[in-house]
Amino acid sequence: MSAESAAKRIAWLAREIRAADALYYQDDNPALSDADYDTLRRELIALEAEFPHLIHKDSPTQSVGAKPSGRFGKVKHVVPMLSLDNAFSDEDVVDFCARVKRFLSLPSETNIAFTAEPKIDGLSAALRYENGKFIKGSTRGDGQIGEDITANLATLDTVPKVLSGQGWPEVLEIRGEVYIDHADFETMNASQVAAGKAEYKNPRNAAAGSLRQIDPSVTASRPLKFFAYTWGDVSAPFAETQIDAVRRMADWGFDVNPQMRRHDNPKEMVAHYAEILNARAGLGYDIDGVVYKVDDLALQDRLGFVSRAPRWAIAHKFPAEKAITIVEAIDIQLGRTGSLTPVARLTPITVGGVVVSNATLHNADEIERLGVKVGDSVEIQRAGDVIPQVLRVVKPSDKDPFVFPSQCPICAAPVTSDIDTKTGRQDVVRRCTNGLSCPAQAVQGLVHFVSRQVFDIDGLGERQIEAFYEKDLIREPADIFTLRSRNSEIQLETWEGFGETSATKLFDAIDARRSIPFDRVLYSLGIRHVGRTNSRLIAQHFTSWKMFWTAVPELQNPVSDPYMSLLGIDGMGQAALGSLAEFFASDANYKIVENLVQHLDIQDAEAPTSDSPVAGKVVVFTGKLERFSRDEAKARAQSLGAKVSGSVSSKTDYLVAGPGAGSKLKKAESLGVNVMTEDAWLELIT
């Protein structure tokens, strides 16, 4: 590279890194993945080493305290850090309590105790203590892996370095929320203003930025506090109820929320919610709802988790905050599956501490229902992390009504809507009919393919995909895997934004993903309703890609064995199966997948890690179960690694039959399947 192009590249890299740092540290709103960030930094370091006279004193590589690469170490959570399901009304809370009882097979008139406490609007953190000493602190991250922020958390007065009292388990991981209270937030912003710096948007952002400082002395200067409310990895149980567990945490020196109480029924719970909502403004810190938890820890254990949230807890959210603003334009956004979503571009307005400039209008019917047009003044609402919504038109403008396009705004193909197979009604969502021939859908599909949770290819993001797509170099996923071999024509190293190093890095990153788990390959295809969870379920069902691929043609036949057995998987719905079948009914899609898998070494789905005798076995429950609800029986079987199916076939290992069993029992008997009572099943699994 010439010194001139090196100087340009160095300036560009420095700018990108500085911008990424600002978003990461000041706004806690990372624009780049850690890997992309590291790639930029490494390239800058390499270039500066080659052209030392071009090192600028303000270069991000010269700033004191910045790590040469990466930011924080990673911490794998022994017990995943989950999120909570939401309730938005008193009825949702009543339903939640009923659901809990149903799952536990308890009569509806039984009272179960629940705790209720404020949902703190901060950042969750996990604090690990060994023999009473604080040894590691981490962020939640993606729930499985967080960042190691031990040094920063150690600066908080409310994080005990040594536990008080006695009786703590040898290993004790306390979890809770880091936050900044209102008074401290005001003081913090006043000094930002005095120093001529931008104010923080809200206490949560200020807390997030303060917690993830590279230099712990900066964190120490910020007024962060910690409320403890739950726990993760522990070497021994330390309480029998939620409320006692929290009392013990208080004895060991943690701040716990004084508003926590225990209730016997939904009526008391919602009354407490109303009380907390009333007290909200005077609490002195931000809360965004009330969390209810089943008090009895043995019941919590039985209830377990579904997907990423516990069945034993729910967050009752406060009503959304509202504001009035003007619709400046209505744009159409195209999704990966071709859906056309109208978006209102708004005159920016602060709602609940956050600046809102876009709100979703969902679909054509919603626009009609609202009667919204460009120029209207509208009421909008924002609830937690949910995308802002338009509630109603407050003052209409004299502009013409919005006309929903009948053609795709990107490729001009006609727009249609599906017919719901169940209701026979037309779906409200309009879709572009051009499938992967629509550039927007193709690009969005490819962006999904390379994204974090799917193929996770470092250095290949939306911008790069668009560039490759426009130049006709990547049109389908398989093309990604032939980039390196085509590089003598492509000459990626000469492209703007790429150098020798970053081109090689990209090819290496692609090669690193040739070996990939089965479920990711399935998820990568972007089939409607076949998201992460369903992909995992399907992969676990077939175990190997080969078995799946053999079954694919049979998916067109809804009475075939593969179709029926997939339908029996707990959690898989007709919609997912229907769209899986529809996807492979297209020769073009079939070919795209065939082309792709040639380049891959697809790893079998992980066998369930369980030494239970039912691990890997297919079990069907039928008739009335007397010890458990059907849901609990299924969840228990699955947690032991069994596959629960809804129909009996030659693949069924056990049929657990309660009173009233009928046709399934007959079929199982005729197929020679092992039939057992609920008691025999219980004996087998315990």
For ligand IVH, the closer CB: 175 or 536: 175
Q: Which residues contact 183 (CB under 8 A, 6 or more apart)?
A: 284
Q: How far is the CB of 389 from ligand IVH (least distance, A)?
A: 20
Query: Using an 8 Å Cβ cutoff, are 629 and 106 in contact?
Result: no
For ligand IVH, the closer CB: 144 or 437: 144
**Stretch of 309-317, 358-366, 575-583, 635-643 contacting ligand IVH, by CB under 6 A:** 309-317
For ligand IVH, the closer CB: 269 or 313: 313
CA distances from 168 to 131, 237, 258, 544 (A): 8, 9, 22, 45
Question: Interface residues for ligand IVH in 73-112 (CB under 6 A)?
Answer: 82-84
The tokens for 390 are 């338009």
Give the strand pairing for 123-130 and 171-179: antiparallel
- H or E element that contains 332: strand 321-334
- Catalytic residue, chosen from 119, 293, 373, 617, is 119
Q: How far is the CB of 207 from ligand IVH (least distance, A)?
A: 12
Q: How far is the CB of 172 from ligand IVH (least distance, A)?
A: 16
CA distances from 263 to 90, 257, 296 (A): 15, 16, 12
The tokens for 405 are 């396009």
For ligand IVH, the closer CB: 291 or 351: 291
For ligand IVH, the closer CB: 138 or 230: 230
Least Cα distance to 568 among 655, 649, 645 occurs for 645
Q: Alpha-carbon distance 306 to 588, whole Å?
A: 36
**Stretch of 38-46, 117-125, 440-448, 532-540 contacting ligand IVH, by CB under 6 A:** 117-125
The tokens for 56 are 């600028």
> CB count, 10 Å around CB of 176?
27
For ligand IVH, the closer CB: 70 or 143: 143
For ligand IVH, the closer CB: 308 or 651: 308
CA distances from 339 to 267, 344, 345, 427, 585 (A): 42, 16, 18, 11, 20
Strand, coil or helix: 507: helix
Q: How far is the CB of 230 from ligand IVH (least distance, A)?
A: 5
8 catalytically annotated: no
Q: Alpha-carbon distance 269 to 290, whole Å?
A: 9
Question: Tell me, what DSSP letter sits at residue 536?
Answer: H
For ligand IVH, the closer CB: 16 or 177: 177
- Torsion over CA of 210, 211, 216 and 221, rounded to 10 degrees? 40
Indicate whether 117 belongs to the interface with ligand IVH (CB under 6 A): yes
Indicate the residue whose CB is closest to ligand IVH: 124
**Stretch of 23-31, 39-47, 113-121, 468-476 contacting ligand IVH, by CB under 6 A:** 113-121
E runs forming strands in 606-648? 618-622, 643-645
Indicate whether 310 belongs to the interface with ligand IVH (CB under 6 A): yes
Q: Alpha-carbon distance 285 to 647, whole Å?
A: 52
For ligand IVH, the closer CB: 315 or 503: 315
Q: How far is the CB of 287 from ligand IVH (least distance, A)?
A: 8
Helices 462-470, 439-450: inter-axial angle, 10-degree rounding: 130
Indicate whether 160 belongs to the interface with ligand IVH (CB under 6 A): no
**Contact letters for ligand IVH, residues 218-237 (x by CB under 6 A):** -----------xx-------
Query: Using an 8 Å Cβ cutoff, are 435 and 585 in contact?
Result: no
Question: Interface residues for ligand IVH in 252-291 (CB under 6 A)?
Answer: 291
Q: How far is the CB of 81 from ligand IVH (least distance, A)?
A: 6
Least Cα distance to 290 among 301, 306, 304, 279 occurs for 279
Q: How far is the CB of 500 from ligand IVH (least distance, A)?
A: 43
Judged by CB under 6 A, the number of residues near ligand IVH is 15
Indicate whether 317 belongs to the interface with ligand IVH (CB under 6 A): no
> CB count, 10 Å around CB of 471?
10
Query: Using an 8 Å Cβ cutoff, are 392 and 379 in contact?
Result: yes
The tokens for 163 are 């536990």
Q: How far is the CB of 29 from ligand IVH (least distance, A)?
A: 18
Q: How far is the CB of 118 from ligand IVH (least distance, A)?
A: 6
Q: Count, in order, helices (H) and strands (E) of the chain.
A: 25, 26
Q: How far is the CB of 86 from ligand IVH (least distance, A)?
A: 8
The tokens for 523 are 């998820």
Q: Alpha-carbon distance 438 to 341, whole Å?
A: 16
Indicate whether 242 belongs to the interface with ligand IVH (CB under 6 A): no
**Contact letters for ligand IVH, residues 118-157 (x by CB under 6 A):** -xx---x---------------x-----------------
**Contact letters for ligand IVH, residues 172-211 (x by CB under 6 A):** -----x----------------------------------
For ligand IVH, the closer CB: 177 or 631: 177
Question: Interface residues for ligand IVH in 431-470 (CB under 6 A)?
Answer: none
Task: List residues with catalytic annotation.
Answer: 119
Contacts with ligand IVH, residue ranges (CB under 6 A): 82-84, 117, 119-120, 124, 140, 177, 229-230, 291, 310, 313, 315
